Structure 1
Amino acid sequence: MSARTRVSAPAAARRSSAVPPGGTRTLRLGSKLSIRYRRRSLFLSVLLAVAVLLVGAFTLTAGKLGLSWTELLALAVSPPEGSGAFVLERLRGPRFLTAVGAGMALGVAGSLFQTVTRNPLGSPEVVGLTSGAAAGAAATALWPGYVPVPVAAILGGGLAVALVWLGTGRGFARPGKMIVAGIGISAVASALTSLAMTTLGEQQAQTLAFYLNGSLASRSWSHVATIGIAVAVVLPAAAALQRRLDLVALGDELAESLGVRVDRTRTVAVLLAVVLAATAVSVCGPVAFVALVAPQIALRLLGTSSPGVVAPALVGALVLTLSDFTVQQIDVGPALPVGIFTAGLGSLYLGWLLWTEARKGLF
């Protein structure tokens, strides 16, 4: 190889992370601030956002209680009155917005975990975070009034991940051991949740069981505010961390040679994922598989080696809002929890993913 064509590994990694396939564009905001983007990523993000808005429109207008399309279009001028106000402000508006926020949070949390573990099966469910957050939320039913549900969920999820960190022996540096330890912690957390259900009264146990299946029924504006604050605070931090995570995904030694503090980057990413996933669990329960499938769908749509933050967030929002809209239209007597529906879809996707990875010789 001639000197003219020889490229060092760090330089190649820097070039591959700086110029993704398809090229980049730079949007300059003043003299000091600029934003780099790919045209395909921008187009995809706009398309996904429009799809989420369309799902929202159908959610608000479907069924006998839904708004008319005239009332929906009139929202740009003035809010509806009477039954229309009830549907928008109490029945379906908070439910849809909670689904959007929770879907975004789960999508980004899954993306962070899959990047950290370098495994397409990495997700909050696999590493025990979701089960830990659910156990923390369930504990509030035993001792009501002491700790708010979102705080208890974050504490439970954080404790589960901390135990996984200790159980691997080297923190988060060994993704394989991290997943194995997560499965064990998840089993313990599920057992504690079941124990909590056995000590509750019949009505409380039924309410808790409905929540543990993942439900968006009877959401309020307090749920919207809770998940909205988490998304508004954590997503920009995740976006700022993304470039370093892309380098970590290339390998620890290579990332360190480029000046990335790998252990610190990995730990911060996991902490951000804990907050996002645990907050989502606190407002809608442990909705299954959204965090697993959203980053993988985003990867395939983008055609890049990293899904980033925006695409998984929008895919997660679309998956959860579309799933919730579907369960609202299914007449099965009692309201079907959206977590059962996503678990059915996710199990099919997981089977396909395991089959494709096995064909590649990764298992």
Structure 2
Amino acid sequence: MTGRVSVQPSAAARPPRGAGPRRATLRVGSRIAVPVRRSSLLAALVTVVLLLLAATLTLTLGRLGIRLADLPDALAGGATGKNAFVLNRLRGPRLSVAVATGAAFGLSGALFQSVTRNPLGSPDVIGLGAGAGAGAAAVALLLPGVLPVSAGALLGAVAAMAAVYLSTGTGFRSPGRLVVAGIGVSAMATALTQYVVYAVERDKASSLTAYVNGSLAARSWDDSTTIWAVLLVCLPCAVPLARPLALGEMGDDLSTGLGVDPARIRTAAVLLSIVLSAGAVAVAGPIAFISLTAPQVAKRVTRSGGPQLVMSTLIGALLLVLADLAAQQLPLFDNLPVGIYTMAVGGAYLGWLLVREWRRHRA
């Protein structure tokens, strides 16, 4: 097997003229061949280019930005002085965390929406983000200096998911019960968070509020290593679920007839979604709406059905990097947590989506 990667027309998958989207085969060496839509491949390439452009702007814009002419040398390890500080301490880790965190949220949302067959579904709906916020708040109030806030967020997310799992009576196998239990857990966790923010001292409440809203400020390479490790472990596990999940969206009877165990696939997808979201909130807080928005944008740019796992991963990374770029560079809202930007954009998108669904059902 060689390391050669190529894209070739797929004769078996090529439709007659006018019959549907053209397909190609992505080949890695001589043993791996994956059929892909050319429109999806083009959309992925455009997204990667936009992501690279946004990353370049993140490193170069502003008073502390690295000059564009100096950026290649800095990335190659030749950064000194101010450039070294910006790349290694200020913006480099923050950018790396933004890319991986956005990707993790995007992939997590795609898995969860496919399981629930609901375009409004996301791990936020089942209380994971609220649980993470409550865990962070509880640690800040009860164990200040004993545990880091990120550890509290992770413990809170795990506790919330355990509560949801036990509340449904069927684990993660029933999407309807999952959402209902999650709403209840989310409400209780939010109440706890609000109490802690009210009860703690003002300076502690300020920093805690920033984390609960989702923030990428003051992130380190250790944070980057953590979220990249989670993403690189979960993504190869998630990609093989794409076809069974697509069949599952057609109904349990049909997918069972085609050799898929829908309950097992749903459980695996939900568990991966939880791990991805928990890793993301541990390093950046519960950044809202990326997991909701990214899968829907991915489906629209590819014009394809089914869970667009890889495309959702790329779109999630792009959305969060753009939101963080705005958080750093827009003077009107200087140093606002990035989660506030994603809530504003995601809320507007959610409103548009709800109106669109309402009009479609009325037509």
The TM-score with structure 2 as length reference comes to 0.88
In structure 2, C-alpha distance between the alignment counterparts of 1:334 and 1:318, rounded to whole Å: 21
Q: Which residue of 2 aligns with 1:361?
A: 361
1:36-115 to 2 correspondences below 5 Å? 36-75=35-74, 77-115=76-114
- CA gap of 1:86–1:226, structure 2 versus 1, over 3 A, is same
Give the total of aligned pairs.
344
In structure 2, C-alpha distance between the alignment counterparts of 1:293 and 1:333, rounded to whole Å: 23
- CA gap of 1:112–1:147, structure 2 versus 1, over 3 A, is farther
- CA gap of 1:333–1:162, structure 2 versus 1, over 3 A, is closer
In structure 2, C-alpha distance between the alignment counterparts of 1:40 and 1:318, rounded to whole Å: 19
- CA gap of 1:253–1:346, structure 2 versus 1, over 3 A, is same
In structure 1, C-alpha distance between the alignment counterparts of 2:343 and 2:236, rounded to whole Å: 29
Q: Following TM superposition, by how much is the alpha carbon of 1:162 offset from its aligned partner in structure 2, in angstroms? A: 3.3
Q: Following TM superposition, by how much is the alpha carbon of 1:279 offset from its aligned partner in structure 2, in angstroms? A: 1.1
Q: Which residue of 2 aligns with 1:7?
A: none
- CA gap of 1:287–1:77, structure 2 versus 1, over 3 A, is closer
The TM-score with structure 1 as length reference comes to 0.88
In structure 1, C-alpha distance between the alignment counterparts of 2:234 and 2:180, rounded to whole Å: 27
Q: Say yes or no: does 1:214 pair with 2:214.
A: yes
Q: Which residue of 2 aligns with 1:314?
A: 314
SS of the residue aligned with 1:300?
helix
Q: Which residue of 2 aligns with 1:10?
A: none
- CA gap of 1:64–1:29, structure 2 versus 1, over 3 A, is closer
Q: Following TM superposition, by how much is the alpha carbon of 1:256 offset from its aligned partner in structure 2, in angstroms? A: 1.2
Using the aligned pairs only, state the percent identity. Answer: 48
SS of the residue aligned with 1:34?
strand
Q: Following TM superposition, by how much is the alpha carbon of 1:30 offset from its aligned partner in structure 2, in angstroms? A: 4.4
- CA gap of 1:174–1:89, structure 2 versus 1, over 3 A, is same
2:173–2:267 Cα contact (<8 Å) kept:
no
1:137–1:282 Cα contact (<8 Å) kept:
no
- CA gap of 1:333–1:297, structure 2 versus 1, over 3 A, is closer
Q: Say yes or no: does 1:230 pair with 2:221.
A: no
In structure 2, C-alpha distance between the alignment counterparts of 1:249 and 1:146, rounded to whole Å: 45
Q: Following TM superposition, by how much is the alpha carbon of 1:210 offset from its aligned partner in structure 2, in angstroms? A: 1.0
- CA gap of 1:59–1:28, structure 2 versus 1, over 3 A, is closer
In structure 1, C-alpha distance between the alignment counterparts of 2:75 and 2:207, rounded to whole Å: 37
Q: Which residue of 2 aligns with 1:131?
A: 130
Kindly provide the amino acid, as one letter, of the partner of residue 318 in structure 1. L
SS of the residue aligned with 1:26?
strand
1:6-45 to 2 correspondences below 5 Å? 21-45=20-44
- CA gap of 1:146–1:237, structure 2 versus 1, over 3 A, is farther
1:134–1:282 Cα contact (<8 Å) kept:
no
1:327–1:337 Cα contact (<8 Å) kept:
yes
In structure 1, C-alpha distance between the alignment counterparts of 2:57 and 2:39, rounded to whole Å: 27
- CA gap of 1:97–1:211, structure 2 versus 1, over 3 A, is same
2:215–2:338 Cα contact (<8 Å) kept:
yes
Q: Which residue of 2 aligns with 1:164?
A: 164
- CA gap of 1:73–1:297, structure 2 versus 1, over 3 A, is same
Q: Following TM superposition, by how much is the alpha carbon of 1:336 offset from its aligned partner in structure 2, in angstroms? A: 0.8
After TM superposition, the structure 1 stretch with the greater mean CA deviation from structure 2, 336-345 or 154-163, is 154-163
In structure 1, C-alpha distance between the alignment counterparts of 2:326 and 2:274, rounded to whole Å: 28
1:27–1:34 Cα contact (<8 Å) kept:
yes
Q: Following TM superposition, by how much is the alpha carbon of 1:285 offset from its aligned partner in structure 2, in angstroms? A: 1.1
After TM superposition, the structure 1 stretch with the greater mean CA deviation from structure 2, 277-286 or 37-46, is 37-46
| Structure 1 stretches lacking a partner, 5+ long | 1-14
Kindly provide the amino acid, as one letter, of the partner of residue 83 in structure 1. K
Kindly provide the amino acid, as one letter, of the partner of residue 270 in structure 1. V
Q: Following TM superposition, by how much is the alpha carbon of 1:37 offset from its aligned partner in structure 2, in angstroms? A: 2.0
Kindly provide the amino acid, as one letter, of the partner of residue 153 in structure 1. A
- CA gap of 1:270–1:154, structure 2 versus 1, over 3 A, is farther
Q: Following TM superposition, by how much is the alpha carbon of 1:322 offset from its aligned partner in structure 2, in angstroms? A: 0.4
In structure 1, C-alpha distance between the alignment counterparts of 2:274 and 2:44, rounded to whole Å: 25
SS of the residue aligned with 1:319?
helix
1:133–1:281 Cα contact (<8 Å) kept:
yes
| Structure 2 stretches lacking a partner, 5+ long | 1-12, 14-18
In structure 1, C-alpha distance between the alignment counterparts of 2:357 and 2:282, rounded to whole Å: 33
Kindly provide the amino acid, as one letter, of the partner of residue 290 in structure 2. V
In structure 2, C-alpha distance between the alignment counterparts of 1:255 and 1:166, rounded to whole Å: 27
Over the residues paired in the alignment, what is the CA RMSD in angstroms? 2.2
Q: Following TM superposition, by how much is the alpha carbon of 1:132 offset from its aligned partner in structure 2, in angstroms? A: 1.3
Q: Following TM superposition, by how much is the alpha carbon of 1:199 offset from its aligned partner in structure 2, in angstroms? A: 4.5
- CA gap of 1:53–1:344, structure 2 versus 1, over 3 A, is same
SS of the residue aligned with 1:206?
helix
- CA gap of 1:261–1:281, structure 2 versus 1, over 3 A, is same
